[in-house]
């Protein structure tokens, strides 16, 4: 696939837009939240996790977001600075908006859920006035996280950021990132997700998130490659559809398709894999790696995070990911190029 190229004056690798929140993950696991007494606090929020992942991998990362004007807002901003993430465009909310909280429930060795407190959150108060064209102009990539489209003025801020990105040849990654809070209808979700997806260069999401973007009913038999074609037609360079433990499918504009398995790990929580995957995949693209290498690297990082207690804190260095791959039994067997119409299970769709 043609490698992305960037003007030399672009001195920031990725600017992420969206929520910075706090994860409260249970110290007592394999029980429901009502039976949990203590939690460990981590920085959270999907785009924040991705930003941390990229910074941990040594990339130059910026962030555009709003945080609460209180101790939690200071905590997350300080954490970003400690990780080397630029916070010049992370601003405190002015009308008492709060930081989002996510309680993870690890109810069994195979099941986990999240309970999010997002009423009056600061991240959705991000407004067009907070979006700097000069800042975005400096970035190679702009990461838009789907939940930031769930309400105004954050929605308009994101579309303005994408307009500036297009104007200055900053490539757009749209991580669909669905959280079932704030959205008012399935139609609203589909309209805004598909508008953002059609404007992106790299589009990634779980199969369920693609189905929401296309307003497909559960149990539909639309093949993954058809979902990908919808967006490659609009100019996407890469479309990645994630399938949890089964792995992921990746499609590139040069009509190559890849089936990616997953690495065997002891699952602790099924959250965070997508954020680790996104940060490590984007690292590979920024390094100029070919798709298979970037996809394997991403899958390894994801496996590490789903077997860890945190998301942000568990993000790995390149050396840690490379040694994880080397130590695993699946090294070199996780990724294969497949016919365009092959499904994640291996069958071929007749369309
Ligand atoms: N049980 C597992 N074991 C190993 N790897 C896993 C497991 N679950 C997920 N992964 C890895 O994480 C990747 C992304 O996971 P998933 O499909 O859940 O995405 P997501 O829903 O976007 O994740 P997130 O919870 O971060 O939003 C998968 O493609 C796979 O590589
Ligand atoms: O995405 C969220 O806001 C929750 C995350 O912080 C949490 O770590 C998770 O679910 C990872 O995707």
List pLDDT tens digits, range 4-54: 999 999 999 999 999 999 999 999 999 999 999 999 999 999 999 999 999
Smallest-distance ligand from the CA of 305: 1
Å from CA of 113 to ligand 2 middle? 10
> Where would I find the beta strands (DSSP E) of the chain?
12-17, 21-26, 39-44, 61-67, 90-92, 101-106, 112-117, 139-145, 171-175, 202-206, 238-242, 248-252, 256-260, 335-338
The answer to whether the CB of 242 is under 6 A from ligand 1 is: yes
Mean of per-residue pLDDT scores for the chain: 96
Region 341-351 average pLDDT: 81
**C-alpha to C-alpha distance for 230 and 132, rounded to whole angstroms:** 31
Nearby residues of 218 by Cβ (< 8 Å), 6 or more positions away: 211
350 pLDDT tier (thresholds 50, 70, 90): low
> Is residue 351 very low, low, confident or very high in pLDDT (cuts 50, 70, 90)?
low
Q: Report how far residue 211's alpha carbon sits from residue 159's, in angstroms, rounded to the nearest whole number.
A: 22
Which one, of 116, 93, 92, 90, lies nearest residue 104 by Cα?
Answer: 116
Residues with CB under 6 A from ligand 2: 19, 21, 23, 44-46, 49, 102, 114, 271-272, 274-275, 311
Q: Determine whether the shortest distance from the Cβ of 270 to ligand 1 is under 6 A.
A: yes
Q: How far is CA 175 from the centre of its chain?
A: 5
259-292 pLDDT, tens digit each: 999 999 999 999 999 999 999 999 999 999 999 9
Ligand 2 atom 5: residue of nearest CA: 45
pLDDT tens-digit readout, 196-244: 999 999 999 999 999 999 999 988 999 999 999 999 988 899 999 999 9
> Which H or E run includes 26?
strand 21-26
How far does the chain reach from its first CA to its final CA, in angstroms? Answer: 25
Looking at the CA of 182, name the nearest ligand.
2
């Amino acid at each position: 696939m043609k490698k992305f190229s960037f003007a030399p004056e672009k001195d920031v690798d990725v600017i992420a837009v969206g929520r910075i929140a706090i994860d409260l993950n249970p110290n007592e696991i394999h029980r429901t939240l009502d039976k949990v007494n203590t939690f460990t606090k981590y920085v959270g929020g999907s785009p924040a996790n991705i930003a941390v992942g990229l910074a941990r991998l040594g990339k130059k990362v910026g962030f555009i977001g709003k945080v609460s004007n209180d101790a939690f807002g200071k905590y997350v901003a300080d954490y970003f600075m400690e990780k080397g993430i630029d916070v010049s465009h992370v601003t405190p909310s002015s009308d008492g908006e709060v930081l989002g909280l996510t309680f993870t429930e690890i109810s069994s060795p195979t099941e986990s859920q999240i309970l999010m407190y997002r009423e009056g959150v600061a991240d959705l108060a991000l407004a067009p006035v907070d979006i700097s064209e000069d800042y975005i102009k400096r970035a190679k990539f702009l990461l838009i996280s789907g939940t930031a489209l769930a309400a105004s003025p954050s929605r308009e801020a994101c579309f303005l950021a994408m307009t500036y990105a297009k104007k200055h040849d900053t490539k757009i990654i749209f991580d669909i990132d669905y959280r079932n809070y704030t959205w008012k209808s399935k139609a609203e979700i589909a309209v805004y997700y598909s508008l953002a997806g059609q404007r992106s260069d790299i589009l990634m999401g779980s199969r369920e998130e693609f189905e929401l973007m296309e307003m497909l009913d559960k149990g539909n038999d639309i093949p993954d490659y058809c979902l990908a074609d919808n967006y490659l037609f609009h100019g996407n360079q890469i479309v990645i559809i994630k399938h949890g433990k089964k792995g992921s499918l990746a499609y590139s504009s040069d009509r190559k398709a890849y089936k990616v398995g997953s690495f065997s790990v002891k699952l602790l929580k099924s959250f965070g894999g997508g954020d680790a995957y996104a940060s490590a995949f984007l690292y590979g693209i920024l390094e100029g790696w070919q798709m298979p290498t970037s996809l394997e690297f991403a899958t390894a990082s994801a496996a590490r995070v789903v077997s860890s207690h945190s998301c942000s804190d568990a993000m790995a260095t390149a050396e840690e990911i490379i040694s994880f791959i080397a130590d695993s039994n699946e090294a070199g067997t996780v990724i294969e190029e497949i016919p365009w119409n092959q499904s994640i299970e291996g069958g071929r769709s007749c369309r």
